[in-house]
Chains A and B, each alone.
Chain A
């Protein structure tokens, strides 16, 4: 995996950082590989559970996935997000689609559209509406910060069928790109992960077939649908943590190379206060990187062993999001001119890592989830 990152991603990392929105043709080699699939179903009970949670996954897949993601992001995080057919929408489809939906949409590149101008962390407050009109759903609203907006074939859109029902009214709908009333309005110009296309969609009386409501009948009728989708985040949080780890490690490895070239090898024995300032900072970052990784692997391991890992997943993202950012910032500082020059990738890693503490649940939300969990307090008791 590391060879892939080094051989394929690193050489093109700067190119797509500079040429924001250019399509990374080099990644087309991944098109044949189905990264987010679903294992062959054996019996009827293998249908996705009613809560719309995770389908049965092969043993060890979460741990191997986080390890792979770390390596790929050591290569380039923006490019990882741009791998064909590996959108967040693909994960949702793999998890909850019916057989028919999987057949129709399973091979497409699917993005996920949740966030709106007025709904960020409070994803339960989304206002995009879906109204049933005969054989069709009619969608209206605006979605922002959609990853793979330009390159995807379809988008899993969260919309509410009944605003008064709150979270219970939220469902997901599959909208294909060329559907009338569905338009890619703009692509964002970002601080980092510039290789990843992030865009805004407008839904203007967008009509989709009734069958495009994602999931089985139970998912459709149950109010647990929202909670179920939130549960899939228990699996994606460690993955984002891994992204942060990969980027931070890239920065740290680069710093280490410079230190070694200068003649200072970490010795792991001396009093840390007797080494140079830069060495001590290096040790502290290395220790934090270990902590980030162990928390993340624990969460992934628990998922693989079918243990409920809500707090552990949030812990991993809380720690990794925050520390990953600090590590990349500190490395730029310690690298001096090499840390701010665009001749090297360090400054890009600092820009790339910042988003890891923001998307898929901000660090503040992660801390809130951990806090509520360890304190045994509800969202009413701890806002």
Chain B
């Protein structure tokens, strides 16, 4: 049954995340972005809300509440409205957990999930982007070759979030013409984490290029039974997540521009009184709503266990386009003031561009 209203539980979750962002992130986001650093304390504050252990069933050490793609979408939007890098970093453990829960074998769940029930922030990561022109997560150039009960990985991944802090790295690679995911434990010989990457944004998120040179792992570390079908399922979750993140960034830009336009006086009245400005703001408003509804549609499909290929793909495609459009308007409404780093709209603009390009990062 279609419903456009949040349940009580969903509202509470959304408000909790929003409050945390307001208290912790809102006033610190600018400095974190300038510093290129998220204090551990902020990651632990979110960790202590328990969202990661909540997803993990009791038999693996968690609280066993299960994960809800819709809830995760709400949380991601709130966090991303505060800061995109924070949204990814804080929820990154969940990405690993979701992948193992969704696609892992029983022994894999038993082996890996307990690590994510720790008292303090503990994370894994996903290595799915590649550097070359026209890179495509469904056509990875990273290869996996089976040999004597092992798998040998070769290739290079980029935009791997928090790689130096990850207990485990999930790597997308091609095995005998099929796409598969492999779990590589930290410090495995043959896996080299490069210098921290420098990107247009999000500055707060540490991302790395990770190289695999004859990196050997046990065959049992191929996630689940490794069908291409399953690999795609990760993308459904990550694309929906990026759509939620894009919605948050766009919303932040819209709200800031809206409030600014009402205060800024030129030609004797607030600039919001001029149609050229007001119409930009109107478009920002309904595109943010559209992005959110498309995110929810994909998240609902995932929640119901239905095929989310089309809805997640279209949601992310739309969010990528609209995050750019909305954040562009955000800078434009502020004019020259939108161009300097004193206001956050330039940060939203830089981060907004990445939605269309990135894959992975987060999962619902």
Q: Which residues of A contact B (CB under 8 A)?
A: 63, 266, 268-274, 283-284, 286-288, 290-291, 294-295, 297-298, 301-302, 305, 315, 318-319, 367-368, 370-372, 374-377, 381-383
User: In the complex, what residue of chain A is closest to B133 when comparing beta carbons?
Assistant: A273
B-side interface residues, number (CB < 8 Å): 44
Q: Is the CB of B3 within 8 A of A301?
A: yes
B136 and A274 contact, CB distance less than 8 A? yes
In this complex, the member of A269, A298, A315, A375 whose beta carbon has the largest number of chain B beta carbons within 10 angstroms is A269
Q: Is the CB of B313 within 8 A of A288?
A: no
A374-B258 in contact given A271-B136, A283-B314, A295-B289 (Cβ < 8 Å): yes
Residues of B within 8 A of A382 (CB): 272-273, 275, 278
Supposing A269-B235, A271-B137, A375-B272 touch, asked if A301 and B2 sit within 8 A by C-beta, the answer is yes
Q: Do B293 and A368 touch across chains, with their CB atoms under 8 A apart?
A: no
CA separation between A323 and B247, bound complex, in Å? 20
- Looking at B23-31, B145-153, B280-288, B344-352, the stretch in contact with chain A turns out to be B280-288
Instruction: List the A residue with the shortest CB-CB distance to B297.
Output: A294
Query: Roughly how many angstroms separate A372 CA and B285 CA in the complex, as a whole number?
Result: 11
- Tell me the B residues contacting A by CB distance below 8 Å: 2-5, 134-139, 232, 235, 258, 261-262, 269-270, 272-273, 275, 278-279, 281-283, 285-287, 289-291, 293-294, 297, 309-315, 317-318, 321
Main secondary structure of the interface of A (DSSP, over half): helix
* B137 contacts across to A, CB distance below 8 A: 271
Known contacts A271-B134, A295-B290, A298-B293; is-contact A367 B279 (Cβ 8 Å): yes
Q: Give A56 Cβ to nearest chain B Cβ, in Å.
A: 21
- Give the complex CA separation of A63 and B1 in angstroms: 12
**Interface contact B278-A291, CB-CB below 8 Å:** no
Query: Complex Cα distance A75/B139, Å?
Result: 40
Is the Cβ of A290 less than 8 Å from the Cβ of B318? yes
CB atoms of B258 and A270 under 8 A apart: no
Closest to B320 in A: A272
Q: A291-B290, A374-B281, A381-B269 known; 9 other A-B pairs, CB under 8 Å?
A: A268-B309, A268-B314, A283-B313, A284-B318, A287-B314, A298-B289, A315-B289, A375-B278, A381-B273
Are A294 and B293 also in contact (CB < 8 A) when A269-B232, A301-B2 are?
A: yes
For A266, the chain B residues whose CB sits under 8 A away are: 310
Expressed in whole angstroms, the Cα–Cα distance for A315 and B293 within the complex equals 13
Residue among B135, B269, B283, B315 making CB contact with A271, cutoff 8 Å:
B135
Q: A371-B278, A375-B278, A382-B272 are in contact. Are A315 and B3 (CB under 8 A)?
A: no
**What are 21 inter-chain pairs, A to B, with CB distance below 8 A?**
A266-B310, A268-B314, A269-B235, A269-B309, A274-B136, A284-B317, A287-B317, A290-B311, A291-B290, A291-B291, A294-B297, A295-B293, A301-B4, A305-B5, A368-B279, A370-B286, A371-B278, A376-B262, A381-B269, A381-B270, A381-B272
B residues within 8 A CB of A284?
A: 317-318, 321
B285 touching A374 by the CB < 8 A rule? yes
Q: Tell me whether A270 and B278 are in contact (CB under 8 A).
A: no
**CB pair B294 A290 closer than 8 Å:** yes
Among A270, A274, A382, the one with the most B-chain Cβ atoms within 10 Å of its Cβ is: A382
Taken together as a complex, chains A and B put the C-alpha atoms of A263 and B139 apart, in Å, by 20
Is B232's CB under 8 angstroms from A383's CB?
A: no
Residues of A within 8 A of B286 (CB): 295, 315, 318-319, 370
Contact call A274/B134, Cβ cutoff below 8 A: yes
A290: chain B residues within 8 A (beta carbon): 294, 297, 311, 314, 318
Q: What separation, in Å, do the CA atoms of A367 and B291 have in the docked complex? A: 18
Which residues in B have their C-beta under 8 angstroms from that of A268? Answer: 309-310, 312-314
Q: How far is the CB of B222 from chain A (nearest CB, A)?
A: 20
Most interface-central of B2, B235, B258, B291 (chain A CB within 10 A): B2
CB distance from A171 to the nearest CB of B (A): 31
For residue A260, give the distance in angstroms from its CB to the closest CB of chain B: 15
Instruction: Kindly list chain B residues whose C-beta atoms are within 8 Å of the C-beta of A377.
Output: 262, 272-273, 278
Residues of A within 8 A of B4 (CB): 297-298, 301-302
Listed from nearest, the 4 A-B pairs whose CB atoms lie closest are: A294-B293, A291-B290, A371-B278, A271-B136
Cα(A302)–Cα(B137), bound, Å = 39
Smallest distance from the beta carbon of B320 to chain A beta carbons, Å?
Answer: 9
Residues of A within 8 A of B297 (CB): 290, 294
Q: Complex Cα distance A270/B139, Å? A: 8
- Closest partner residue, chain B, to A366 (CB atom): B282
